[in-house]
Structure 1
Amino acid sequence: MPITRRAAFGATAALLPIPALRAQPADVIRIGVLTDLAGPYRDVTGPTSVACVRQAVEEFTAANPGLRVEVITADHQNKPDVGINTVRQWFDQRGVDIVTDVGNSAIALGINPVCVEKDRVHLNASAGTSDLTGRGCTPNSIHWAYDTWCLSNTSGTALTKAGGDRWYFITADYAFGHAIERDTTRFIEAAGGKMIGASRYPFPQTTDFSAFLLQAKASGAKVLGLAMAGDDLINCVKQAQEFGLTRSMKLAAIIGSITGVLAAGLPTMQGMYIAETFWWDLDERTRGFTRRVQQKLPAGVFPNYVHAANYSGVLHYLKAVQVLGIARAKASGREVVAQMKRMPTDDDAFGQGSIREDGRKLHPSYLLEVKKPGENRYPGDVYRLAATVPTDQAFRPLSEGACPMIRS
């Protein structure tokens, strides 16, 4: 793909040292949104995640005008070295107190030790790996919207029990994709099914999935599991339609979202099963949040569960800061995370919930089926609810996570 001047400038700017700020006010909370602003996950995370963070800040500071909050952003380019260096610069030179979004599992695991070292908060809204509350858990981190265990459980169990007992995977060849394939296979087998094959593609260099799709078609599988996200998911689904795979098997986007459905359109995505933990049209509270944040978004954009998690998580973080006081909150991110765990969560995106001691945010998960063209009644009406997984079953049990903070 040709590199635009804007993209080239953004890539260069992300690698340049960030100048130190002098005389930074000590009474300002600084939120760093580390995200994908120009790559394959731009629409799944990116500018809409930033808008949702700003929405949370505006709502909270309107009700609490004594708290000053600044939001800064950076593009990690899906490169761990860029993401980790950016976070270090933010902490050392910009006085950032909390990093949110992130959106790349390798980067998320890479910045965890930095947040512990600097005693700052890592609020992860968009990386998928369940290791963030397992072997990689820390007292400074919280994992909000979803993880691979949750969505793999939602899709793998329900579809296998419904007759889809033979699966083939097309998997992004890095930590995120491996975790999806691993976790979903576990639930398929527990429900009496079998994973009969998989193809792993180079990320992010692949745009042609034809060879992998032909292997999937020849396998005789009943379900094609797509362990990918963003532009990769849209391209793969479009090509699967062209090869006629949907006539012989169901497609399951383990980590899909309404973002991809709207981008590809109902004719392409119809009948696909997608697991999400936030659905904008679920109830009046979710619709109210969506209407408010859409004032900051281009026409036709609807927030997904990653975007909503940035709103929900930052709102809860600011509530904890208010309880502790800004001096204590800025002195120790670990103390803020502990306070966030003590407080019940409640907001218009996810409703009522809680944060477990391993940093896992708890709420229900939903298996959604994409409607056919003509079944939708208004903009954004693309789903029908196929199944709900309640809060106490949606995420991995605490005893199975191997989080080093948790005593057996």
Structure 2
Amino acid sequence: MRTGLTSSLPVWLAVVISLLSFQSYAVTIDRLEKSNDVEIQAWLSDVNEQGDSREESEQSKTLPSFSVNEQIILYVEVATPRWFTGGTRIESVEIPNVIAKQRNQLATNYTERKGGQTWSRQRWEITLYPVKSGTFTVPSLAVNVQVSAPDGSNVSGNLYTQPMNFNVSLPSGLLSDDTPWFTATHVDVKQEWSQSSDELKVGDAITRKVTVNAQDSLSVLLPNLLKSDSSPYFQAYPQPHRLNDTQTRGDYQSSRMEETVYVIQQGGDFKLPEHQFQWWNAKTNKLETVTVEGKSFHARHTPASFVKANFHWLVSLLSTLVIVLIVLLGARRYFRTHPTPPWLLFWLEVRKGEWSKARAQLYRYLRVSTDHLEMGKADSDKAWLKTSLQVQTGAEKAYVFHKMWQMISGKKGARNGLRLPKALPKLDKGHKEG
């Protein structure tokens, strides 16, 4: 029994040693990277850099610089002289004040001759959008890959990119971090109008839809246009915004669609306002302004909306009518027990064209006002003589009669005001005679 155990011990020792040796010399991603059987690279590029900028990024001694809100592309590329045997996964990028989004979920695969070998390459793109000025750092990223080893086995593990720093600043002194704007290479705006009826009235609705399409930007960075534009004429009801980001063969497109329904509250003419926004053209390095035009409308009143819109005016009118009615009723009651005033009789006679009665009324007024019986002798003023002559010669014109009445009224005031002073010369004459 002991002899059997003793004879099998060397066998067990050999098995253990062989297993330890296999684990010691097992192929790993780290060993493949050290032996140049797999490699990883990462670099930053803006939208104007169309070629491979790896060498320029590696050789540049200054930090790359970008603009606030500009689309920065982080390229991550892994390569092997053999082939990839599984999917590649990249760790998510997290940088304060930078929006990171892997919009392209597929890598660009291609081959390249290097040192007499054919290398398989996978290039991944991650878009970065810095929203503040400053210096930022892209941290070291873990990239999980699976490749074929020289011994034919499949090896998987994490490769790590080098950290990268870059500067971000405002592209123009006309912009600030507090004003809404965005960066793109092309912007297109489309506006649509619709209304619930051809002839608008109070209670109808107008729908306004604005769509902003931007190239090389992000939908969350596009401006909010249709704000609360309510007024006495309409009430605004914003609908949920629709944001969309797409990527087609390296072409990044973003869109923001806003829709607002305006319910008419009051009839009349009104205008839905225009809106403006600014964007920085990263291709031409210019600040551009886009105006979304407004539109004028007219809505008919309903009886209820007319009363509501003109309530204060209607109350004032009704109050005035009531006061006038009270005055008329009071005057009617007064004149039932009192004689009609001469001025009213004269006005009624002139209006009816009863010229002889109106002329008699003028002479009566003249006698009462001036103690004169003849118009021509009451005053020597040219205007008086001309008007009195027209009345005496039979003129039948309302404005002549009214003018004569006003001139007699002036004489009446002068007579009343000078009656006492006029007696003074007579008293002085009597004193001298005495």
Asked whether the two chains share a fold, i.e. TM above 0.5, the reply is: no
State the structure with more CA Rg. 2
Identify the TM-score tier after normalising by the shorter chain: under 0.3
TM-score using structure 2 length: 0.20
Higher RCO (CA < 8 A, seq sep 6+): 1
Q: Tell me which protein shows more helix as a share of its residues.
A: 1
Q: Tell me which protein shows more strand as a share of its residues.
A: 2
